[in-house]
Structure 1
Amino acid sequence: MYKSIDELVERIDERNSDGKISTLIGVSIDKCFINSVANINGTDLTKYKIIRRDDFAVSLMQVSRDSKIPIARLKDYDQAIMSPAYPIFRVRDTSVILPEYLEMWFMRPEFDREAAFIAVGGVRGSMPWEEFAKMRLPVPSLEKQHQVVRAYQIVADRIAIKRRINDNLDSTMQAIYKNYFVDFTPFKSEPTCATKLGEIPASWSVCKFCDLCDLLNGRAYSQEELLDSGKYRVLRVGNFFTKNSWYYSDMELEDNKYCYPDDLLFCWSASFGLYIWNDVKTIYHYHIWKIDFSKTAPYYREYIFLYLKQELNKLSKEGHGSVMAHLTKSGVENLDIVSPPEEIIKQFHNSIIPFIEHKKLVEKEVQQLTELRESILSKMVS
């Protein structure tokens, strides 16, 4: 039996009139809540909307442009506040539809595609609430809903465990990096020299990032060049977060426009980050740099990977705007970096590579689980 969203939910417009709630959140395009980074000093929070546990919030702006609706169910707080621009709603009757089941429906790529199609005629690609509320979904028996939700949650929990393992591996690698190249613990007995980056072992030097490696630009594509199928996948920034929305190309390009297994990639637009590519030969998009080690050697990869992670962490603490301002190609190329002797880089590589290999195995497991999770979503209409 199909029902419209409007039949299943009710809109909520509860205001923070006494100003007691100060936890301000927003919804990301990845369909999760994020803490707001807005400066709320002097802001009148009494006009903000209250959202409570199991309530949903949605952003209906620019749906056709992003081809995705930022929408999420509140699970991590009993209550929070949001901008008045967000429509907030909750399930009318949990004996008809479970909030968890409705959330799963909103996670489906097919839901986003339908919404994007509807929103094409809206102002700036936005979607009026009335159009959103008309969208329909199948509502099976409560027993069937519980079964689907349980199956989905088991897989989601496994993915969360695997991601925590990778977080721990990242933390361990960062600690080893700090021990080597920030605290210089293995080299305490060596004489030091003063540099613009502080005291370092006297046999080391300071150079520019571009003295050790190069940033290679990916290829820019027009929408017409991105195919639904083809010889090569086109890796865009969003594909690091979801593997079910690929574009393809049949173009044969120069070799430096492809990424290969074990290449180090740097996303510099929107969702910035560093990744060691763990898949087949793929074209990478203009918003991604590939880091080339022809000037040094492949075993510099782990040193540069962790150095850049440290630099990104520093910039993040200064605020998101600062990160984006510094992430220009020339800005990265001209970063000052400590250059240890080559034998130290080799030693560091050997200490880090077991963690890198472990992480790659876990990432493969996460990908398999993610595909299983997406198959559960795709079967919600069967």
Structure 2
Amino acid sequence: MKSEKVKVNNGWKETSLGEVAVFNYGKGLPTENRKAGGVPVYGSSGITGFHSEALIDEPGYIIGRKGTVGSIHYSNKPFYPIDTVYYLTKQDIKCDFRFFYYLLQTLGLDKLNFDSAVPGLNRETAYSLRITIPATESEQKAIAAVLSSFDDKIELLRRQNKTLESIAQTIFKEWFVNFTVKGEKLKVNPKTGLPEGWRQKGLDEIADFLNGLAMQKYPPENEVDVLPVIKIRELKSGITGQTDKASKKIAPEYIVDNGDVLFSWSGSLDVVLWCYGKGALNQHLFKVTSKKYPKWFYYFWILEHLPFFRSIAQTKATTMGHIQRHHLSESLAAIPDSDFMTFADSKISPVFEHIISNNSQIQTLSKLRDTLLPKLMKGEIRVKDF
């Protein structure tokens, strides 16, 4: 691979990736050999499970070698990298540890795949990449501090959202599943098993479940009028450099926006509040909406039935696990009378709106960080006093 000529800024130096870092091979750990524990096991797609013992007893970076080539992950605690990844710890890096993380983001490692049979990142190819970095560790630290300030705020908002969702879900379960309000059981009709004035409906009666399109049938016509394709992978990872693109010329109902409820009914079953901007809804995903019931109501009812849906999917031994629409009909939701719904909505909707607002802030911060990242790492923007 021929390296491009790189521009060297004043106070920076040109070198190669191999001169500042050592990529270590992970170690195989088949699923059947893993023992119950809290140590995260990392593959190229991220955490693939847990084990009782760590291979690496300190924080480190994990880089996809096979499979999801060039993916970059960070473990802030002891971890076990398997044989589809490389890993690096502080002793393997000859520059500031945090700075190196951001440097990795700019190298395009996901594009260094030269194995046509099985996607693979060759270590020597990665080592040969020419890079420029600040000559002093103090400037490296200053750059990392700027970028880390964004990531720290994003992480704070994400933790806050987890807490808010946990609070809202606890309230939901108490009121709509356990029929308990302020520690007191609601009076239940012995014939229906529901509080007086309540009724039951299938999930497909309280919300519309729109299945996505086969987006490969809507390829981009140019590089401008495109949307990222939201597949099952994007529910967890968001929009990445490996996300497919589709034409914007699709029916508006198949365009996803922040705050939409997405439910993967096939493969890895999950339900999420989308927070990564506009995208095109791919097949195997439902966009869930309702003209009658608030978003939190159908979101938490899907979440309540998710263990049941996953158990169904696990029985599909010969095909990719999935559920069918009749399973939505068979999964019931307790519908309160209008007064109780109004009361519940006044308590839970503000929490949900706070979550969506936080997600919007995360998007804004992420875009600003991603705009600054290449400029700071190339020295096009210098940190004050350097």
- Which of the five TM-score ranges fits, normalised by the shorter chain? 0.7 to 0.9
> Partners in 2 of 1:157 and 1:57 — Cα distance?
20
Structure 1 residues 244 and 191: alpha-carbon distance in aligned structure 2, compared to 1, 3 A threshold:
closer
Is 1:173 the counterpart of 2:168? The answer is: yes
Segments of structure 2 that go 5 or more residues without pairing to the other structure are 1-12, 29-33, 380-386
Is 1:10 the counterpart of 2:22? The answer is: yes
Instruction: Name 1:335's counterpart in structure 2.
Output: 331
Q: Once superposed, what is the RMSD of the aligned Cα atoms?
A: 3.9
> Partners in 2 of 1:115 and 1:74 — Cα distance?
19
Conserved 8 A contact 2:258-2:275: yes
Is 1:76 the counterpart of 2:81? The answer is: no
TM-score by length of 2: 0.74
Instruction: Name 1:27's counterpart in structure 2.
Output: 42
Deviations 1:312-345 (A, max 9, x none): 36777x7995798355544344323333334433
Secondary structure in 1 aligned to 2:321? helix
Is 1:185 the counterpart of 2:180? The answer is: yes
Conserved 8 A contact 1:24-1:82: no
Structure 1 residues 188 and 282: alpha-carbon distance in aligned structure 2, compared to 1, 3 A threshold:
same
Report the structure, 1 or 2, having the larger helix content.
1
> Partners in 2 of 1:228 and 1:350 — Cα distance?
46
Conserved 8 A contact 2:26-2:86: no
Conserved 8 A contact 2:254-2:280: yes
Secondary structure in 1 aligned to 2:138? helix
| Aligned AA (1:177) | F
Instruction: Name 1:362's counterpart in structure 2.
Output: 358
> Partners in 1 of 2:218 and 2:125 — Cα distance?
29
| Aligned AA (1:36) | G
Matches for 1:271-286 after TM superposition, within 5 Å: 272-276=269-273, 283-286=280-283
| Aligned AA (1:353) | S
Structure 1 residues 334 and 230: alpha-carbon distance in aligned structure 2, compared to 1, 3 A threshold:
farther
Counterpart pick for 1:106 among 101, 104, 107: 104
Q: What percentage of residue pairs aligned between the two structures are identical? A: 17
Conserved 8 A contact 1:234-1:247: yes
Conserved 8 A contact 2:44-2:67: no
Deviations 1:202-254 (A, max 9, x none): 54333322232231112221287046644463451427744565766555433
Structure 1 residues 165 and 152: alpha-carbon distance in aligned structure 2, compared to 1, 3 A threshold:
same
TM-score by length of 1: 0.75
Conserved 8 A contact 1:56-1:89: yes
Matches for 1:143-182 after TM superposition, within 5 Å: 143-182=138-177
1:303 deviates by 1.0
Secondary structure in 1 aligned to 2:112? helix
Structure 1 residues 224 and 185: alpha-carbon distance in aligned structure 2, compared to 1, 3 A threshold:
closer
Q: How many residues align?
A: 352
1:119 deviates by 0.7
Instruction: Name 1:374's counterpart in structure 2.
Output: 370
> Partners in 1 of 2:204 and 2:218 — Cα distance?
34
1:177 deviates by 0.3
> Partners in 2 of 1:81 and 1:275 — Cα distance?
28
> Partners in 2 of 1:21 and 1:181 — Cα distance?
34
Segments of structure 1 that go 5 or more residues without pairing to the other structure are none
Conserved 8 A contact 2:44-2:85: no
